[in-house]
Chains A and B, each alone.
Chain A
Amino acid sequence: MTWTRKILRVNLTAGTCQAEPLNLEWARQYLGQRGLATKYLVEETDPKVLPLAEGNKLIFATGPLTGTSASTGGRYAVVTKGPLTGAIACSNSGGYFGAEMKFAGYDMIIFEGRSEKPVYLLLENDEARLLDAAHLWGRTCWETEELIKHAHQDPQLRVASIGRAGENGVLFAGIVNDLHRAAGRSGVGAVMGSKNLKAVAIRGTRTDAYAPADPEGFFKAVAAAKAVLAGNGVTGQGLPAYGTQVLMNVINEVGALPTRNHKEIQFEGAHAISGEAMKQPRDSDGKPNLVTNNACFGCTIACGRISKMDKGHFAVKDKPQYHGASGGVEYEAAWALGAACGVSDLEALTYANFLCNEDGFDPITLGTTIGAAMELYELGLIKKEEVGFGLEWGSAEALVKLAEMTAQGVGFGKVIGLGSRVLCTSYGRPDLSMSVKGQEFPAYDGRGLQGMALEYATSNRGACHVRGYMVSPEVLGIPLKMDPGATEGKAPMLKAFQDLTAVVDSAGICLFTTFAWGGPDIQSMIQPALGGDWSLERLMLLGERVWNLERAYNLAAGLTGKDDTLPPRLLNEPAKTGPMKGKVAELGKMLPEYYQVRGWTPDGVPTPETVARLGL
């Protein structure tokens, strides 16, 4: 079995690190990573706890396929109660850090309590130590990683850390590992900061911690599944070449690219910030923005973007530290920093994205919050004097300055750092926050893609695209083509996507595999990896169990079915242009059916039968 069957419990209040056996009964019910960490959080914490209070816990979790040769098997998740939403937060990341946790012999690390002083965890196989991080506090993620490796004379350490954003309580602060991979959403980095935990550094060299139950069967299935990825147009060609940025022009043409705080649904500057544009030589210096693609651990897709900026661009002209190669914009970041603010300067977006990686905060919420600020400015509610400069739509200068101020926690950046819900509410226009349950939308407009509208309204961590990616059926025709403007059939399809995604996450692999892999491909690897009986039916039921456990946690935290809604703009203001012109998000037509197929009451509460069926 590919669990290490061991977890590490770190009590930051007491300063202790204690290994304990993994609860295997829970592992068989919740698999790993997202599902299993949620189970631990539910069992061990009060759902009413304040997210930044000592009683909240922060769980780093791998899945059984993490650290194996299954393609993309390198992912870990951070699960906690989220400060942006007050709901369950689960943010996963690639890079090399997750696999290293497994190499060191742990499925999971649970951080509880709060350290009096800044500390970091150094974990080398059986040796776990909390070390003083006073000299690291105030440093960026990039500096922190370098300083830790240097201090221990070990360049092979893998480091996950918070930057200044997490220290400063930016509500959408993330945790960055391997320089530019991040558990980016829902503010998991702010929780880490609240615990005075600066970083987790791991080196794992154990060779006996875990192994597939049936190695021969596992390698056969892994090879077959890799061939499926290689042969698929999206995972074999589109993603390596353009990354997720392959979507920018596509979604704009479909008429689902939210623009200027969702006032519009198509962006005139889409091409300038697209994946295609990243490969074009720039007018300024004749070089393209994109340098190469990169893979996370074990990934045979390699969608990651590595970019180099134009050294003469105003944002970095006098800052040589940003002239080298670093993590470039992916679609969500390019959209949020670009279209959502009306900015079409690809270099400015790239710089803002570098800052998000450097100091650990989510570019989606950053961009959408700046977009909301720009609308409040347009309405005269935010004044130039309070910001220090104008927030005109499309201003790359404003974007760059606000990104810097958010990273540093100064001036109006402190306001931006609280996200759009707090921002818009404080200016008397909560309706202008393009968010659900406090978390901002990603890059697809629910008026253009009705299934995504339902996904946003029902996602357990607030508006999110990676909980049930209805873009696949509605735009890409995976596994079958659905009319993006229709509401029929969306509820059951969304349920299937959400449940399967919960399985993928809990296994420790990347959601992007599902452009090519279906349930049977994933099952074919889990079965020989774990041994025993892991049918697809059992896995789908497990996914549904994870979904309902998250739902139950949110309900216990105080959320209700009333929170399964969308901002009035999406429900009432018709799309102005494109194929979806005249459309609003028809949530009312889909939500009751969704509750029904989920086995929930009309108020959105799992019925006793559902609870019993799932063994919750």
Chain B
Amino acid sequence: MQKSLKMDPNKCTGCLQCEMACAYEHHHTFTISRSRIKVFGFEDEGRKVPYTCTQCDEAWCLHACPVEAIVLDPATGAKKVLEDLCVGCKVCTIACPFGTVNYVAATGKVQKCDLCDGGEPACAGACPTGAITYVDADWTGLDRMRRWAGRTDNNPAAV
């Protein structure tokens, strides 16, 4: 079964544990500039929103890459950057409509979320509030569906 990262901004407090976990998982540093997941603050609205690659099926980045350095991991569905092949041309960063693949000047390569190569992604594991979870890819709407189901009163006795 394929899984997806699911973000629930209503639960995000902006603690950035996810960013630290991502940076540490991939680069053994707490420095969050190396994280592939980002939490954005919309301060005027009092909202914090975590955001990363959604792993498009027809991924713009993958198709744009001239050296086939972005490949599909069939096990996880992740579109992964093969650093050995990446030439740092940045065309993928232009192609991605969501901005979730980015160039890293220090390495001369691009980086993006790879779902931590299977298992639970580090960001989801580190989130203290359940704002980031790793769930059945076919049922990311299940929680919301259940919430609405609960509001549908089909018990005749209650009418």
User: What are 28 sample pairs from A and B whose C-beta atoms fall under 8 A apart?
Assistant: A67-B30, A69-B17, A69-B21, A69-B30, A71-B128, A103-B30, A103-B32, A179-B43, A205-B106, A207-B23, A207-B29, A207-B31, A210-B30, A211-B28, A215-B28, A292-B46, A292-B47, A293-B13, A294-B48, A295-B15, A297-B15, A300-B15, A300-B17, A302-B13, A302-B129, A308-B46, A324-B45, A325-B43
B residues in contact with A293, CB < 8 Å? 13
Partner among A102, A204, A291 whose Cβ is within 8 Å of the Cβ of B33: A204
B20 contacts chain A at the CB level, 8 A cutoff:
yes
Whether the Cβ atoms of A298 and B43 lie closer than 8 Å is: no
Chain B: CB-nearest residue to A308: B46
A295 in contact with B13 given A68-B30, A103-B31 (CB within 8 Å): yes
Chain A nearest CB: distance from B37 CB in Å? 14
B residues in contact with A383, CB < 8 Å? none
B residues in contact with A18, CB < 8 Å? none
Complex: how many Å from CA A326 to CA B33?
A: 25
Chain B nearest CB: distance from A83 CB in Å? 30
Chain B nearest CB: distance from A189 CB in Å? 21
A607 contacts chain B at the CB level, 8 A cutoff:
no
A residues in contact with B21, CB < 8 Å? 69
B residues in contact with A71, CB < 8 Å? 128
Q: Which of B65-82 contact A (CB under 8 A)?
A: none
> What 0/1 pattern do residues 220 to 240 of A give for CB contact below 8 A with B?
000000100010000000001
Q: Which of B15-46 contact A (CB under 8 A)?
A: 15-17, 20-21, 23-24, 27-34, 43-46
B residues in contact with A103, CB < 8 Å? 30-33
A463 contacts chain B at the CB level, 8 A cutoff:
no
Complex: how many Å from CA A209 to CA B44?
A: 34
A residues in contact with B126, CB < 8 Å? 69
Partner among A69, A179, A207 whose Cβ is within 8 Å of the Cβ of B27: A207
Complex: how many Å from CA A156 to CA B38?
A: 11
Chain A: CB-nearest residue to B29: A207
B residues in contact with A325, CB < 8 Å? 43-46
A residues in contact with B31, CB < 8 Å? 67, 103, 204-207, 209
Partner-A contacts on B (CB < 8 A)? 13-17, 20-21, 23-24, 27-34, 43-48, 106, 126, 128-129
Whether the Cβ atoms of B14 and A326 lie closer than 8 Å is: no
> What 0/1 pattern do residues 173 to 210 of A give for CB contact below 8 A with B?
00000010000000000000000000000011111111
Chain B nearest CB: distance from A552 CB in Å? 35
Chain B: CB-nearest residue to A292: B46
Complex: how many Å from CA A147 to CA B30?
A: 28
Chain A: CB-nearest residue to B28: A211
Partner-B contacts on A (CB < 8 A)? 67-69, 71, 96, 99, 102-103, 156, 179, 203-211, 215, 226, 230, 240, 291-300, 302, 306, 308, 324-326
B residues in contact with A326, CB < 8 Å? 43
Partner among A296, A298, A324 whose Cβ is within 8 Å of the Cβ of B44: A324
Whether the Cβ atoms of A299 and B28 lie closer than 8 Å is: no
Chain B: CB-nearest residue to A302: B13
A residues in contact with B28, CB < 8 Å? 207, 211, 215
B residues in contact with A99, CB < 8 Å? 30, 32
Most A C-beta atoms less than 10 A away, residue of B15, B27, B47: B15
Chain A: CB-nearest residue to B128: A300
Whether the Cβ atoms of A295 and B14 lie closer than 8 Å is: yes
Whether the Cβ atoms of B106 and A207 lie closer than 8 Å is: yes
Complex: how many Å from CA A102 to CA B128?
A: 23
A299 in contact with B15 given A226-B128, A308-B46, A325-B44 (CB within 8 Å): yes
Complex: how many Å from CA A308 to CA B45?
A: 9
Complex: how many Å from CA A302 to CA B46?
A: 14
Complex: how many Å from CA A300 to CA B130?
A: 11
Chain B: CB-nearest residue to A297: B16
Whether the Cβ atoms of A211 and B20 lie closer than 8 Å is: no
Partner among A96, A204, A211, A292 whose Cβ is within 8 Å of the Cβ of B16: A96
Complex: how many Å from CA A456 to CA B139?
A: 56
Partner among B20, B29, B45, B46 whose Cβ is within 8 Å of the Cβ of A208: B29
